Homo-oligomer: A and B are copies of this chain.
Amino acid sequence: MKTFEKNKSRAVVLLSGGLDSTTTLAIAQDLGYQTYALTINYGQRHHAELAAAKRVGEYFNVTEHKVLSLDLTLFGGSALTDQIPVPKESVVENSPSQIPITYVPARNTIMLSLALAYAEVVGAEHIFIGVNAVDYSGYPDCRPEFIEAFQRLAQLATKAGVSGTPLRIVAPLISKTKAEIIQTGLNLGVDYSITHSCYDPDSVGLACGECESCQIRKLGFNKAGIDDPTKYSQETGRVE
C-alpha cells in the first residue's frame, strides 16, 4: 500500500504523549514521512500528558509541533474534563454498552477535525492517529468504522479533497494488542519512559498505577514480557 512505502510526504500525527500516539509517531517517522505533530490541550486532568508530548516531539525531532488549546471543560461530561472522580476499578470490557465515564464526548472527532485543518494548511495527505480497538476502553470513536467514516468525510470537507488529493486517515495500531504496540515501538527505538498514560497523575506528574489507562499499560508491558519503565506514585511512597 502506498501509505506504508518509504516516502518523504507530509503527515500530521496526533500526539498526546501517551504510549499509543508515541508509537504511532515512531511508525510515521520510520515510514519516512515529514511529521507535523499536533497536541490538543483540551483541559484534561492529566496535564502531565502535555509535558510528555513535548518530550516525545523533541525526541523524534518532528518537523513542526503545534499545541492547540481548546477548553472542553466548558462542556464537561467526562471524568477527564469535569469534576467527576477518575474510577479505579478493574479494566472495563470492550463493549460499546459499557462506555466508561472517562470517555470525552466526541473527542476523536474533534481531534481529527483539527488535524484535518492542520493537514490542509501544511499540505499533508495523511493523518496518523493512535486509536486502538483491541486493548482499549470501549470508546465508540476508536473503532475502524469510525475511522473509515471520518476518511470519507475528510475527502468531502476540504479544498484538497475536492481538488482530487486523496486524504488518508492512518490508524496503524487499530488492530494491535497493547503488547504488540509496545513491541513495535521498542523495535523502532521508542523510549517509553518519556511517555505518559495515567488519567490521574499526582502533583508532580507520576502515574497513579490504578486507573484504567495505567492498568491497560501495565498489562501490556506484562504480556510483552518487558519491564515497564513507568514510575508509579505508589512505588515511590509519595502521599498526596
Contacts and interface: CB of A to CB of B under 8 A. Distances in A.
Copies in the complex: 2
Nearest to A143: B156
The size bracket of the interface on A is 35 or more
B121 A75 contact: yes
A163 interface: yes
A159 interface: yes
A110 interface: yes
A145 interface: yes
B146 A149 contact: no
A49 to B, nearest CB: 18
A158 B141 CA distance: 7
Contacts of A77: 117, 120-121
Contacts of A141: 156-158
Nearest to A144: B156
